[in-house]
Amino acid sequence: MDYSAQLTKPFAGAEIERWIRVEQRLSSSPFLADPLRRLRYDCSEGWAWDNYRPLVLALARMLRRQGRPARVLEVGGGRGPLFSVEQALSANIDLTVNDADARELSLGPKGFEHTCFNIAGDIDPKLAGTFDLIISRMVMEHVKDAPRAWANMRQLLRPGGVAFAFHPTLFGPPFVVNWLMPERASARVLRMLFPHRHDTGYPKFPARYEMCRTDPAILNPIFSRCGFTEALIAPIWGHGYFRALPGVRELDQLLFRAAEARDWRWLTTYSYTLARR
């Protein structure tokens, strides 16, 4: 089987056994699990990248109040929010784009409401209870004081609202390297592998990986202390960082197939993390 075929069928074993494992991973919250189940969540990196937008749309439909658009806050949306203005209008979404960096917000599309603040810092009390859904993609690994960030998101949500973060996790091999390597060196390596990762495209920011895990025993007590009523941590295995390295990439695939089959949460690479107020 070549590498492209491995990516389309990332995990080994009988299909029934794999779907039993999937169901076990979704069992902590039937409400939050429903849209993932409808999108055929399969724990793979390819599924995660393909279904981030569809899951946001599904959550927005679930959470909007009758007669008005879903109010969505995109944390770290900066220069590249998930939707264009036209797409948000078409989906009946009232999107507010957030970033801690005013320059990043200035580079983004016009037509959205913007709000500049650090999600782990002080927030405007007037925004409390405002949003139906808070989303972020590849942001939470950069946050300093992640528990406070999640507590702030809980405060920003209306009762019953959901915070959804798509983020990398420790201790997937490429993210351990990124975590341990000096920032200047890791930025050079990233640009070699992904040339668009530069300041005029999508820049690299320092990564801290606070709360970037997929073990419910570690995370659920934190979510409870933040005031969330339920949480769902959907683990994801696999990554594309070694795709240009023959031999290494095949060994990497074997490792992640074994990790998924044994539910080794310490070897996940990404997570869909959802928490409901």
Q: Is residue 168 packed enough to be buried (19+ CB in 10 Å), middle (13-18) or exposed (0-12)?
A: buried
Tens-place pLDDT, residues 119-152: 999 999 999 999 999 999 999 999 999 999 999 9
Half-sphere CA count of 96, side-chain side, radius 13 A: 16
Residue 117 near residue 124, CB atoms below 8 Å: yes
**Structure confidence at residue 32 (pLDDT):** 98
Residue 196 lies in a domain: no
Task: Label residue 214 by pLDDT band (50, 70, 90).
Answer: very high
Where are the extended beta strands (E) located within 195-276?
Answer: 230-236, 270-276
Structure-model confidence comparison of residues 90 and 13, the more confident one: 90
Whether 224 is covered by a domain: the verdict is: yes
3-class SS of residue 223: helix
In a domain, 187, yes or no: no
Query: Could you read off the pLDDT of 237-248 as tens digits, one per residue?
Result: 999 888 888 898
Single-letter residue type at 141: E
CATH number for the domain spanning 124: value is: 3.40.50.150
Q: What is the pLDDT of residues 151-178, one digit of tens each?
A: 999 999 999 999 999 999 998 888 888 8
What percentage of residues in the chain have a pLDDT greater than 70?
87
Domain enclosing residue 257, as ranges: 3-170+210-276
175 vs 40: CA distance, rounded Å: 26
| Domain-embedded: residue 198 | no
pLDDT band at 196 (very low <50, low <70, confident <90, very high): low
Partner residues linked to 51 by β-bridges: none
* CA pseudo-torsion sign 219, 65, 81, 88: positive
Q: Is residue 234 part of a domain?
A: yes
Mean pLDDT of the chain: 90
User: Does the residue 69 lie in any domain?
Assistant: yes
The pTM of the full predicted model, rounded to 2 decimals, is 0.88
pLDDT over threshold 60, residue 208:
yes
Taking every pair of C-alpha atoms in the chain, what is the biggest distance, in angstroms? 56
| Distance in angstroms (rounded) separating the CA atoms of residues 187 and 183 | 6
Does 201 fall in a domain?
Answer: no
Per-residue pLDDT at 192: 59
Does a structural domain hold residue 74? yes
pLDDT above 80 (res 2): no
Q: What is the DSSP letter of 194?
A: -
For the chain, what is the domain count?
Answer: 1
Could you tell me which of 13, 37, 14 has the C-alpha nearest to residue 24?
37
- What whole-number distance in Å separates Cα of residue 242 and Cα of residue 161? 37
Strand, helix or coil for residue 54: helix
